[in-house]
Structure 1
Amino acid sequence: MPELPAASTPARTSIDRRKFFGVTAGAAAASALLSPATARADAQGSGRRRRRPVRFGVNYVPSKNWWFSWSDWDRRSITADLDDIASLGMDHIRIMLIWSELQPNAAYARGEQLDRLEELLDLATDRHLDVEVTVFNGAVSGVLFVPPYLINNGNGKIRNVLTDPVAVEREQWLLGQIAERIGRHRAFMGFDLSNEIHWFAKPLGMTATQAEGDAWHTALFDTCEKVAPGKIHVSGIDHWPWQNNDYWTRDGLATAGTMTANHTWAGWTQVIQRYGSLSTSSTHYSEFFVELIKAFHTDLKRQVWIEETGVSTVWMDAAHIPAWTERSIRAMADCTGLFGITWWDSHDLNPKLSGYVDLEYDLGLFTNDRELKPIGKTIRKLIAEYDARPPSPPQRATALVLPDDMIPLADFTRFFDPFMKLVDEGTRPAVVLQSRTTDTAYLTARGIDHLISPDR
């Protein structure tokens, strides 16, 4: 593929998918100090307007035009959507840029789309909502968006966005362009690099070793900190890399960026279908992932952000959804080190838009015509409750030991099931890597005094 042309900064205009689970070894850590990035996250995490131990937000999906809204802007509809979200007591939203529309050329970021991004942050500010901006979205809701400049017009080959030096440099450039516009905006929380970029890479044949994936994170997060210092910068991934030793190391995921973001979908991973709607395994699935991720943290004050979770009537009877939602949130809120819960999503997908899988249409807290659904009422109630009486997570003195050499599993019997058995027995376990079980300083720092083998 020929080299892309050298870019100069344009003038500023008004300027199957998912299976489940597995783990590998992590480096031992005797103890951890509060890192500068974590200190900044703690400051941000307290909330610009609310001091919440756990932040509550939602992934915003525009009710009228989905994220085609960037090209078909309707301020009135978007304003009404944000009013809906604010009425629930949410303190933040996560939004999706559409990469192919924002950066159709290597050296060009569309000014009108930057204008609309800034306007959206203005509207969010008026409603006391902070905004996490997700940037390199080549895949959203199962739809692929490939920036034209990445495609070779001779052979159709697409540059690897994780390993191609030119592609990575253009990604860094785009982060700078966005930060120039909104980096100092009072509603700007920070950058999420991408919405599950592995689900963009996989269908397009983009491979990367774990070392290359970790290097991509390092390069992009270094840029984020350079162009937007002191913000919350994360990588929005789901269970897949943790499960499959794919694209990134787990140690890398546990140290890259400001905190560890994860998307926990008990339906996509077949947990709901396998164990039942209101089973312990289903309702404590996100709790399990919070504790699993914390086992790989070396900074013991580093936080976990459940940046997506949700449920569809495709996976369970509508009558069970409020109870499942309440139990799932309460289980997550019982974890120390939880930054926030950001539900997927705000509004049901407009039924006039075709081609999405069925479950994408009913994931909202509001219907497409803005009627609050029972799940939305449940979350609104819990937010009000936690504002009045903040969650007080229990001490997890018992830890389930995760063998460092545990391979990815097609079933759940070796570790997930033992975790849930402990929960059923009345124990809320932590997770500790086998390689750290003799590190008394580490165990003491985490408040762990009892270790249990998953093979007990």
Structure 2
Amino acid sequence: MPERAAEPPIDRRKFFGVTAGAAAATTLLTTAAAHADPPPPNRHRHRRVRFGVNYVPSKNWWFSWSDWDRASIAADLDDIASLGMDHIRVMLIWSELQPNATYVRGEQLDRLEELLDLADRRHLDVQVTVLNGAVSGVLFVPPHLISNSDGTIRNVLTDPTAIERAQWLLTRIAERIGRHRRFMGFDLSNEIHWFAKPLGMAATQAQGDAWHTTLFDTCEKVAPGKVHVSGIDHWPWQNDEYWTRHGLATSGTMTANHTWAGWTQVIQRYGSLSTSSTHYSEFFIELIKAFHTDLGRQVWIEETGVSTVWMDAADIPAWTERSIRAMADCTGLFGITWWDSHDLNPDLSGYVDLEYDLGLFTNKRELKPIGKTIRNLIAEYDARPPAPSRRSTALVLPDDVIPLADFTRLFDPFMKLVDQGERPAIVLQSRTEDPAYLAARGIENLTR
């Protein structure tokens, strides 16, 4: 690759951070806002559906927070911006960021701020994912959660001290970046149930919902008006575990979900380019919307992706295009954030095979066919924003059913309607006698 020009120094006037107590913080924020450079033009303001990518540093993965290479990070962000993306989602590593209950590593906050500054230069907003005890199948347990007497680990979802320390951490981060113009908001965690389950952390659904309420209240207090979500996958929607579906559909700014047709065995069961495979994320968007009580609430597909472990490489571009077009056909979709930007560095060991080839770029920053497909779709949608389909036919879902547990109950009928040229919605049984609700969603026909 050609030698990169040195990145010019970052203008620290762009930093809107807080470094002292509440009174000093107010003064700092007011002064910084008064002297800050005007924001760069928002080149993506017209987008109905936002496009972004989960950033995976090409050189050091998320060990980058401790082994920082600014030039490599900047090059990666150039790659991402070249696709037309408007945002990235990043992963903090909880055990490195907060190794002690009352201590946050200052140099990691410095690097987080620097990452936002670098993203700002490339017109990329940044969603910051915080309580990451599990990322890409690897566990990162903060030492302060582990008892040195018997090795037991505090339950992060129910233990009052653990929850209070998580609130404290969110506050410290917000003091540093909460007013940065590229800070989108907090994602509480990356699928925290996959941290809790292997470590034996049990929680009732009421306790899980309360955890969400408590931490989202903190997020809104320390970073008001931002997009605060909880990054989870299909599991809590498919199983009565950790959270209620009603709680997931009403907590936070919007409902984030990670729709993986491979992890749920849909690709393997139905075939890579089947309707069920390519419309899986569309189905999940409509499933989630059935539980929304606020009709203006949005869904964010915060992770989705595909690996050669699940299908032939030749099928990946077609699968990707069909999947994105199906998602964009839904109303109430905030954005699509692909997993991930760059293939995992092959020098790093211990990850499952599919983690190494999920990128839009190779680990050497070469654009892959899937990356070209997404780049072309973004350009197309910028020129001609996609209009969602009218969904006048809805499948009726019993309120107490476990979605997807029985594929023949809801999933297969949904896909049959798609094959027949319909774009179905999903509605809860309890809402079928509410004509105003059905009319607001444009639902005229109910299918049981």
* CA deviation profile, 1:380-420 (whole Å, cap 9, x unmatched): 00000000000100110110111123245544111100000
Give unmatched runs, 5+ long, in structure 1. Answer: 1-8, 16-45
Q: Describe how 1:249-328 pairs up with structure 2 within 5 A.
A: 249-328=244-323
Identity of aligned residues (%): 86
Answering whether residue 192 of structure 2 is matched by residue 207 of structure 1, we say no
Q: What residue identity is the alignment partner of 1:67?
A: W
Alpha-carbon separation, structure 2, partners of 1:421 and 1:446? 21
Alpha-carbon separation, structure 1, partners of 2:376 and 2:349? 33
Q: Which residue of 2 aligns with 1:438?
A: 433
Could you say what secondary structure the match of 1:361 adopts?
helix
Q: What residue identity is the alignment partner of 1:110?
A: R
Alpha-carbon separation, structure 2, partners of 1:444 and 1:143? 46
Q: Which residue of 1 aligns with 2:56?
A: 61
Q: Which residue of 1 aligns with 2:92?
A: 97
Q: Which residue of 2 aligns with 1:27?
A: none
Q: Describe how 1:148-297 pairs up with structure 2 within 5 A.
A: 148-297=143-292
Q: What residue identity is the alignment partner of 1:56?
A: F
Q: Which residue of 2 aligns with 1:329?
A: 324
| Alignment check: 8 A CA contact 2:92 2:129 kept | yes
Q: Describe how 1:411-422 pairs up with structure 2 within 5 A.
A: 411-422=406-417
* CA deviation profile, 1:234-279 (whole Å, cap 9, x unmatched): 0000000000011000000000000000000000000000000000
Q: Which residue of 1 aligns with 2:396?
A: 401
Q: Which residue of 2 aligns with 1:40?
A: none
| Alignment check: 8 A CA contact 1:49 1:128 kept | no
| Alignment check: 8 A CA contact 1:396 1:430 kept | yes
| Alignment check: 8 A CA contact 2:83 2:375 kept | yes
- Larger RCO, structures 1/2 (Cα 8 Å, 6+ apart): 1
Q: How many residues align?
A: 413
Answering whether residue 357 of structure 2 is matched by residue 362 of structure 1, we say yes
Alpha-carbon separation, structure 1, partners of 2:442 and 2:233? 28
Could you say what secondary structure the match of 1:295 adopts?
helix
With normalisation by structure 1, the TM-score equals 0.89
Q: CA deviation at 1:50?
A: 2.8
| Alignment check: 8 A CA contact 1:70 1:113 kept | yes
Alpha-carbon separation, structure 1, partners of 2:209 and 2:378? 36
Alpha-carbon separation, structure 2, partners of 1:107 and 1:133? 20
Q: Which residue of 1 aligns with 2:11?
A: none
Alpha-carbon separation, structure 2, partners of 1:231 and 1:49? 18
Q: Which residue of 2 aligns with 1:6?
A: none
| Alignment check: 8 A CA contact 2:42 2:123 kept | no
Q: Which residue of 1 aligns with 2:13?
A: none
| Alignment check: 8 A CA contact 1:209 1:246 kept | yes
* CA deviation profile, 1:165-214 (whole Å, cap 9, x unmatched): 00000000000000000000010000000000000000000010000000
Q: What residue identity is the alignment partner of 1:225?
A: E
Alpha-carbon separation, structure 2, partners of 1:409 and 1:235? 21
Alpha-carbon separation, structure 1, partners of 2:442 and 2:270? 31
Alpha-carbon separation, structure 2, partners of 1:123 and 1:400? 46
RMSD: 1.5
Could you say what secondary structure the match of 1:245 adopts?
coil
Alpha-carbon separation, structure 2, partners of 1:406 and 1:265? 21
| Alignment check: 8 A CA contact 1:210 1:249 kept | yes
Could you say what secondary structure the match of 2:291 adopts?
coil
Answering whether residue 120 of structure 2 is matched by residue 125 of structure 1, we say yes
Alpha-carbon separation, structure 1, partners of 2:324 and 2:359? 16
| Alignment check: 8 A CA contact 1:10 1:107 kept | no
Could you say what secondary structure the match of 2:153 adopts?
coil
In structure 2, do the counterparts of structure 1 residues 439 and 168 end up closer, same or farther at CA, with 3 Å as the change threshold?
Answer: same
Alpha-carbon separation, structure 2, partners of 1:410 and 1:220? 30
Q: What residue identity is the alignment partner of 2:385?
A: P
Q: CA deviation at 1:51?
A: 2.3
Corresponding residue to 1:88 among 83, 87, 90: 83
Alpha-carbon separation, structure 1, partners of 2:43 and 2:420? 40
* CA deviation profile, 1:7-28 (whole Å, cap 9, x unmatched): xx9979xx9xxxxxxxxxxxxx
Give unmatched runs, 5+ long, in structure 2. Answer: 1-17, 26-40
Could you say what secondary structure the match of 1:81 adopts?
helix
Alpha-carbon separation, structure 1, partners of 2:390 and 2:403? 29
